[in-house]
């Protein structure tokens, strides 16, 4: 077994983990959004300088609304090499792409219709497919665009995640069997407790292989679960968001004061 293959296998088994998360707290969701957008611009420039393209995965929920407005406004907008972006989703709902529930649709309305990311580099769910087939097709898209070696995973430059009040992230929900998935990069979900029920999601090994991961979480509704995940005493009990632990990348939390209320910082 080669050294790098051993590392990948240890990563997949969750046997390696790096550094504590870096927690950034901001007075309001707007200030948080601005700082997160600056972070994205910095990582995008670094990825383009090092590898010629920026591979980013987005999430749904409030994230596009928080982060995209400062990204598409000056001074950030013209600092970005938009044609170098490849956009994917950490999770997507199995609904038509023009449905208001679609995560693509949220990103389209706040980001894509304002900047020049080539349409063929926006890697959407195939909304004609049922969840099983859609997950298989999305995994094939990852293979085609990333072209990882046989022993490697597709490695994102940045995965942007949200977190629900129950500690879910992407479409990885508490106590769900997909949390244990190690054989697939993308999994179907048929029973999401957050509607709509049918989704696809990146699995934990892919998420944890990213170079950088950033959670974006705002609002008092997230204070309790954030205290479990980030507070002292490790009370998170395997909640999905607490299982996001990049193996050799770094982990950031961008949170507002309301969400940070019970962290004692
Ligand atoms: C989705 C998600 C999900 C989301 C969280 C947080 O598509 O439902 O990607 O994981 O990010 O539920 O959502 P809010 O930011 O709206 O609280």
Which of ligand 1's atoms lies nearest the C-alpha of 89? 9
Mean pLDDT of all residues in 148-175: 97
What's the mean pLDDT when you consider all of the chain? 93
Q: Measure the CA dihedral 142/143/149/155, to 10°.
A: 0
pLDDT of 11 higher than 80: no
Mean pLDDT of all residues in 57-75: 98
pLDDT of 160 higher than 70: yes
* 235 closest CA partner among 226, 247, 244: 226
Mutate to test the pocket of ligand 1, among 36, 57, 61 (most ligand atoms within 8 A of CB): 61
Residue 84 has a pLDDT of 98
Mean pLDDT of all residues in 11-32: 76
Residue 159 has a pLDDT of 99
Residue 7 has a pLDDT of 44
CB within 8 A of 83, min separation 6: which ones?
Answer: 116, 117, 118, 121
Which of ligand 1's atoms lies nearest the C-alpha of 91? 9
Give the pLDDT confidence of 168-214 residue by residue, as tens digits.
999 999 999 999 999 999 999 999 999 999 999 999 999 999 999 99
β-sheet with 199-202: strand ranges across? 91-93, 199-202, 186-189
CA of 170 to the centre of ligand 1 (A): 7
Give the pLDDT confidence of 236-252 residue by residue, as tens digits.
678 999 999 999 999 99
Is the CB of 102 within 6 Å of ligand 1?
Answer: no
Give the pLDDT confidence of 85-125 residue by residue, as tens digits.
999 999 999 999 999 999 999 999 999 999 999 999 999 99
Mean pLDDT of all residues in 223-232: 91
Residue 235 has a pLDDT of 64
pLDDT of 30 higher than 70: yes
Is the CB of 256 within 6 Å of ligand 1?
Answer: no
Residue 264 has a pLDDT of 80
CB within 8 A of 217, min separation 6: which ones?
Answer: 162, 163, 226, 253, 254, 255, 256, 259
CA distance 184 to 230: 28
Mean pLDDT of all residues in 27-49: 98
β-sheet with 54-58: strand ranges across? 22-26, 250-256, 212-217, 158-161, 54-58, 85-89
CA distance 127 to 178: 21
CA distance 60 to 163: 10
Mean pLDDT of all residues in 151-169: 97
- Cis preceding linkage at 169, omega within 30: no
Mutate to test the pocket of ligand 1, among 89, 164, 213, 253 (most ligand atoms within 8 A of CB): 164
pTM for this model (two decimals):
0.93
What share of the chain has pLDDT > 70, as a percent?
Answer: 90
Mean pLDDT of all residues in 149-155: 96
CA of 171 to the centre of ligand 1 (A): 8
Which of ligand 1's atoms lies nearest the C-alpha of 93? 7
Residue 89 has a pLDDT of 98
Is the CB of 162 within 6 Å of ligand 1?
Answer: yes
CB within 8 A of 227, min separation 6: which ones?
Answer: 235, 262, 263
Tally of CB atoms within 10 A around 181:
18
Is the CB of 257 within 6 Å of ligand 1?
Answer: no
Kindly indicate the confidence band of residue 231, based on its pLDDT and cuts at 50, 70 and 90. confident
Mutate to test the pocket of ligand 1, among 33, 36, 59, 193 (most ligand atoms within 8 A of CB): 59
Q: Are 123 and 86 in contact (CB under 8 A)?
A: yes
């Amino acid at each position: 077994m080669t050294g790098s293959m051993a590392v990948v296998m240890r990563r997949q088994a969750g046997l390696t983990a790096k550094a504590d998360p870096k927690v950034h707290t901001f007075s309001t969701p707007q200030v948080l959004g601005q700082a997160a957008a600056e972070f994205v611009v910095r990582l995008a420039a670094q990825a383009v300088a090092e590898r010629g393209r920026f591979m980013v995965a987005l999430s749904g929920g409030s994230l596009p609304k928080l982060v995209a407005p400062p990204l598409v406004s000056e001074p950030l907008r013209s600092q970005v090499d938009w044609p170098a972006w490849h956009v994917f989703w950490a999770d997507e709902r199995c609904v038509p792409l023009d449905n208001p529930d679609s995560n693509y649709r949220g990103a389209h309305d706040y980001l894509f219709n304002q900047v020049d990311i080539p349409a063929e580099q926006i890697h959407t769910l195939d909304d004609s497919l049922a969840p099983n087939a859609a997950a298989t097709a999305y995994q094939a898209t990852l293979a085609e665009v990333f072209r990882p070696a046989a022993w490697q995973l597709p490695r994102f430059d940045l995965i942007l995640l949200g977190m629900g009040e129950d500690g879910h992230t992407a479409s990885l929900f508490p106590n769900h069997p997909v949390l244990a998935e190690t054989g697939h990069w993308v999994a179907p979900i048929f029973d999401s407790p957050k509607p709509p029920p049918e989704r696809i999601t990146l699995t934990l090994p892919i998420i944890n292989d990213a170079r950088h991961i950033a959670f974006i979480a705002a609002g008092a509704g997230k204070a309790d679960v954030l205290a479990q995940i980030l507070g002292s005493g490790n009370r998170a009990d395997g909640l999905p968001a607490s299982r996001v632990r990049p193996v050799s990348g770094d982990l950031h939390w961008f949170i507002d004061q309301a969400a940070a209320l019970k962290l004692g910082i």
